[in-house]
Structure 1
Amino acid sequence: MSDREIYEGLAEIFADVFMRDDIPLSAALSAADVADWDSFKQIEIVMATEERFGVKFTSAELDNMRQLGDLVRIVAARGTPPS
């Protein structure tokens, strides 16, 4: 699965979670960059990503996830394309 495919899926997830589609997704994006991104939104993003890409994040991965690029790298390595 390519990074482009992952970012396309994440764009849909972010649009659903934040109820807007104007968030410019990039590897460097973090919660500090999006006003509404709190711990509850983080949980929604993680759960939707796990469901969409068929990956389960470990506690250590979640603890070390600082930027969107961290999430993308894990999905690229272990995820499966949505059917």
Structure 2
Amino acid sequence: MDKRLALILSEVFRLKEKEINIALTKADVGSWDSLKQMDLVLTLEREYNILLTIPDILRMVSVAGIVDVLREKGVALED
């Protein structure tokens, strides 16, 4: 799991970094609501200097989905 992304996710969703894993989904995180989704989008855009589209945002309902979108945007992530 990419350390920078794990830190971002832990801060946005108020989770411990060790709780963040590739299988984590929106359904697993009680705080992952529409407002936190937008917080995540803005944070990712700022941190990685990317622009996320509506289709990108709709796919980001799991850590795996977030990783896929970021990689498609050219973000290099650690495995």
TM-score when normalising by structure 2: 0.73
Instruction: Return the alpha-carbon distance in structure 2 between the equivalents of residues 66 and 31 of structure 1.
Output: 5
Q: What's the Cα RMSD here?
A: 2.1
Q: Which has the higher contact order (CA 8 A, sep 6+)?
A: 1
Residue ranges of structure 2 left out of the alignment (5+ in a row): none
Deviation digits for residues 55-83 of structure 1, max 9, x if unmatched? 211111212333211111121232446xx
Q: Which amino acid aligns with 2:36?
A: K
Residue ranges of structure 1 left out of the alignment (5+ in a row): none
- 1:8 aligns with 3
Within 5 Å, which residues of 2 pair with 1:1-83? 4=1, 7-22=2-17, 24-80=19-75
Instruction: Return the alpha-carbon distance in structure 2 between the equivalents of residues 33 and 44 of structure 1.
Output: 18
Deviation digits for residues 25-81 of structure 1, max 9, x if unmatched? 222211110121111111111111111112211111212333211111121232446
Pairs aligned (count): 76
Identity of aligned residues (%): 28
